[in-house]
Amino acid sequence: MVKISSSEITPEEVYLDRRKFMKGLGAIAAVGLISPSSVLPKNFSGGEELTSFKSITHYNNFYEFSTDKEEVAELSEALTTSPWAVEVTGLVEKPGKFSVDDLKSRYTQEERIYRLRCVEGWSMVIPWTGFPVASLLKDVQPTPKAKFVKMTTLMRPSEMKGQKSWWYEWPYVEGLRLDEAMNNLTLFATGLYGKDLPNQNGAPIRLVVPWKYGFKSIKSIVKIELVEEMPTSLWMKAAPSEYGFYSNVNPEVPHPRWSQKTERRIGEFRRRRTLMFNGYEEEVSSLYTGMDLKKLF
Ligand code: MTE
């Protein structure tokens, strides 16, 4: 259990003031008074309290640095995140290489408050800044053959010491079905709490898929490939009997080694019930019509 003393918790008034400010900006942008690159806030947390900045940035899974969650923040300081290019390739009409600055100015940045549920049984509520994955995909124009989106993390063992470990097949790879990637909730995050994304959270750009277990939300992305066949993720290779491609949050499907019925919100002590699709059933259940959700692990 992580211990969080109250002195470590980000003074939320500071952030809430900023949020009021950004909300104002969002409203102004909506009526077209300021440029479309302003931040538009959207709250998908059901009004739940935000997890503190300190916890979001000091309790991390980023195996390229360490398997110890509390060590990642310090070790990831070694990562050089600028310049950074994301290559979009494969079954698209308009492949290209995009700098993160380019992506940030090209697409309207939104604030999205999402729950994040880790497969290990803990969860957080995180205010991300970013843009919909769909915006980029529409611009590169997937061909009719493209069925899946494969994403890959940077491979740089000189800065990511964990990549020297033999346990995993680096680089980290994850994927989505194309229609999952196009869903309105699916986000490329470039910031959190109104700041640039900290290295430990996947700087400078990471995926956020809030209805799936956290490991699908791949960090520090350098390559996005549109493909015909379902990609094999790092976790599917590492433990095929434990991790599947879909990995939708489903309290009725236990992990082979533990139940998924409940979770502990970081900063709280009592466990709470885990919600189907992490509470995003309305937005995403139509993606899986006719599929056996118990088999979609
Ligand atoms: N992406 C990469 N490249 N490497 C990782 O180890 N861990 C995943 C996911 N993305 C991981 C990753 C897991 S298990 C979780 S729960 C989330 O990132 C954690 O994101 P956070 O540290 O920003 O909360």
Distance 26 CA to ligand 1 centre (A): 29
pLDDT value for 3: 35
* Beta-bridge partners for 263: 272
CATH of the domain at 172: 3.90.420.10
Nearest CA, atom 17, ligand 1: 214
**Sequence-ordered list of residues with C-beta below 8 angstroms from that of 59, at least 6 positions apart, any chain:** 2, 69, 70, 122, 266
Indicate which atom in ligand 1 lies nearest the CA of residue 56: 24
61 lines ligand 1 (CB under 6 A): yes
162 lines ligand 1 (CB under 6 A): no
Residue 56 lies in a domain: yes
Distance 30 CA to ligand 1 centre (A): 33
Predicted structure pTM score? 0.90
Tokens of 92: 């698209």
Residue 31 lies in a domain: no
Query: 194 lies in which domain range?
Result: 37-288
Is the backbone peptide bond immediately before 142 cis, with ω within 30 degrees of 0?
no
172 lines ligand 1 (CB under 6 A): yes
Nearest CA, atom 10, ligand 1: 218
pLDDT value for 40: 83
**Sequence-ordered list of residues with C-beta below 8 angstroms from that of 257, at least 6 positions apart, any chain:** 242
Residue 4 lies in a domain: no
- How far apart, in whole angstroms, are the C-alpha atoms of residue 127 and residue 197? 11
CB atoms within 10 A of CB 79: 20
76 lines ligand 1 (CB under 6 A): no
278 lines ligand 1 (CB under 6 A): no
pLDDT value for 38: 64
Tokens of 282: 């309305």
Distance 278 CA to ligand 1 centre (A): 17
CA angle 139, 141, 143 (to 5 degrees): 170
Residue 6 lies in a domain: no
Residue 134 lies in a domain: yes
Residue 117 lies in a domain: yes
Number of domains in the chain: 1
123 lines ligand 1 (CB under 6 A): no
215 lines ligand 1 (CB under 6 A): yes
Indicate which atom in ligand 1 lies nearest the CA of residue 126: 24
CA distances from 56 to 14, 20, 51, 198 (A): 16, 21, 7, 10
Please state whether beta strands 85-90 and 122-132 pair in parallel, antiparallel, or not at all (unpaired).
unpaired
284 lines ligand 1 (CB under 6 A): no
Alpha helices in the chain (DSSP H): 12-30, 53-58, 72-75, 100-106, 133-140, 178-182, 234-238, 281-284
Mean pLDDT in each 10-residue stretch from start to end of the chain (297 residues)? 36 46 39 50 91 98 98 98 98 98 97 98 98 98 98 98 96 98 98 98 99 98 99 97 96 96 97 98 97 81
Residue 9 lies in a domain: no
Indicate which atom in ligand 1 lies nearest the CA of residue 201: 23
**Residue 87: exposure state from Cβ atoms within 10 A (0-12, 13-18, ≥19):** middle
Tokens of 79: 């990562």
Cβ-contact 97, 115 below 8 angstroms:
no
Cβ-contact 50, 60 below 8 angstroms:
no
Residue 85 lies in a domain: yes
Cβ-contact 284, 291 below 8 angstroms:
no
